[in-house]
Amino acid sequence: MTRRVPLRHLLFYASPGIPLALFIPPMPAILAAFYAQHTAATTAGIGTAMLVARVADALTDPPMGYLSDATRSRWGRRKPWLLVGALLGMVAMWVFFMPPAGAGNWYFLLGLLIYYVAMTVMNIPLRAWSSELSDDYSERSRLSLYLTTALLVGGLLFFILPPLLAHESVGLLASAEFDLETMALFGWIGIALLPLLLGAACAGTPVGRSAGESQTSIIESFKAVRGNGPFWSLMTAESLNYIASGVSYSVLILALSNYWGFGDRVAIFLLIVVVIQVIAMPPTGWLAVRLGKHRTWGFGVLGQALVFPLVFFMPPGATPFFVIALFGAAISIFQAPHMMMPMAMLTDTADYDLMKSGKQRTGNYFALQHLIYKGMNAVGYSLGYFLLALVGYDPAISGNTASANVGLQVIVGVVAPVFLLACGVVLFRYPLTAERHAVIQRFIRRREARLAITDSPVPQ
């Protein structure tokens, strides 16, 4: 019978997700806009810094995955790096969220580099740790569910906080804008919560079961990954999903302001999206146990592919905001599996490698996933803007031509669903089912038992 992860361990493990919401989109974009408006940094300098920092960020992922897997300590492989990450995160909050008055392009680059490195040091070990807290197919879905929900709740709190504190009945902030006062408040919250909740996670969650030997080199790990079919199947699905998301969201946010004319309600739209995603998480976890992770995600992308074409029935100037909000809510419901399933499925692909090689490389797999995610996300957003230019849609003007408007509809209602349908095909053919994962785990446990007998001292 499967041993369920106790609720208290789930809560402790997931709790760092609340402050980590300050490190994930849309916060980097909000910080870039904040520096452009409230410091001496220039738009050209910010753009260059973001490109340089992204390249540097990608270079840190493989070493972090390797170091996390190779660490041996009485506190396990992951906990020491989470504590290091908490310290780096505090520095990032101090430097990046509270810039001096004369902060310019070089200051922005320095803050961004510390910010991305801190996120890498925290995020990769935290996600890899889930594979050691349970080796059960369904329990890993629960771990992913709780961490993803904590990230969403953190994002929701940070969206709500500025207007709440700026309300005339409270008056703790002068305005709800992301200005110097608001960003400094976020910085202090991060400085307080990162050590508190990462420390609580380390103290309140067990080290877990760590099977397999440490890998010997980064080169060895890359060679091993090449032969992991389930991993590449998963990465193909995730890449297609990220391209579809990048294309659709890059266009939809512009459409909300320029096409439908609701620029003053973008924040409300995003708030609705996050709230719906939080609500959708528990049912998604329930479905994952009953249908399997890959099928739940597959039905999610098919649902999105059916919703996006509704944009053809939502013309500019004649579509009420509540209809657009319902459209966003439907997309959010079907996107919930993509937010949750890749983490749980990736730990299963690492088990496949562990079965074949006897080496523990979970951290390395999460590092590679991060590299692919960053690249495919950038491809999706770039493709969205390129296609807007191709169809002649200009976000800077209020009245685009009829053909340009149709082009925007095609990008959202046809191009994005094509990538989603391709993703669905890959997911429904995904080889690592719950039954096959159970076979893998039995093999790993039998090998660990044989090694334990071989390594036991001979009686004298």
Highest mean pLDDT among 151-165, 253-267, 384-398: 151-165
Average per-residue pLDDT in the chain?
89
In angstroms, rounded to a whole number, what is the distance separating the alpha carbons of residues 214 and 73?
A: 12
Q: Spell out the domain ranges in the chain.
A: 1-204, 215-446
Comparing 1-204 with 215-446, is the CATH topology the same? yes
pLDDT of residue 174: 86
CA angle (5, 144, 427) in 5-degree steps? 125
Is residue 426 scored above 90 in pLDDT? yes
Residues 26-65 pLDDT 10s: 788 788 888 888 999 998 888 888 888 888 888 898 889 9
**Cα separation, 196 vs 182, whole angstroms:** 21
Average pLDDT rounded to a whole number, residues 208-232: 76
Q: How confident is the model at residue 267 (pLDDT cuts 50, 70, 90)?
A: confident
* Contact of 147 with 24, CB cutoff 8 Å: no
Res. 180 pLDDT band, cuts 50 70 90: very high
Q: Which two tokens stand for residue 43?
A: 């738009």
Bridge partners of residue 214, in order along the sequence? 360
H runs (alpha helix) in 358-413: 362-390, 402-410
Task: Indicate if the pLDDT at residue 281 is higher than 50.
Answer: yes
Least confident interval from 63-67, 348-352, 448-452 = 448-452
What fold, for 215-446? Growth Hormone; Chain: A; (1.20.1250)
Give per-residue pLDDT as tens, 97-129.
Answer: 999 988 999 999 999 999 999 999 999 999 999
- Which of 296, 336, 302 has its CA nearest to residue 416? 302
The whole-number pLDDT of residue 1 equals 45
With the CA atoms of 272, 278, 281 and 283 taken in that order, what torsion angle do they form, in degrees rounded to the nearest 10?
-70
**Cβ atoms 33, 178 nearer than 8 A:** yes
Task: Report the pLDDT value the prediction gives residue 457, as an integer from 0 to 100.
Answer: 54
What three-state secondary structure class fits 214?
strand
Question: Do 221 and 66 form a contact (C-beta atoms < 8 A)?
Answer: yes
What is the maximum span of the chain, computed from C-alpha positions, in angstroms? Answer: 90
The confidence score (pLDDT) of residue 178 equals 84
Q: What would the two tokens of residue 224 be? A: 């091993």
Radius of gyration of the chain (CA): 23
In the predicted model, what is the mean pLDDT of residues 153-176? 86
* Confidence (pTM): 0.86
Is residue 140 scored above 80 in pLDDT? yes
The topology (CATH level 3) of 1-204 is Growth Hormone; Chain: A; (1.20.1250)
Give percent of the chain with pLDDT exceeding 70.
95
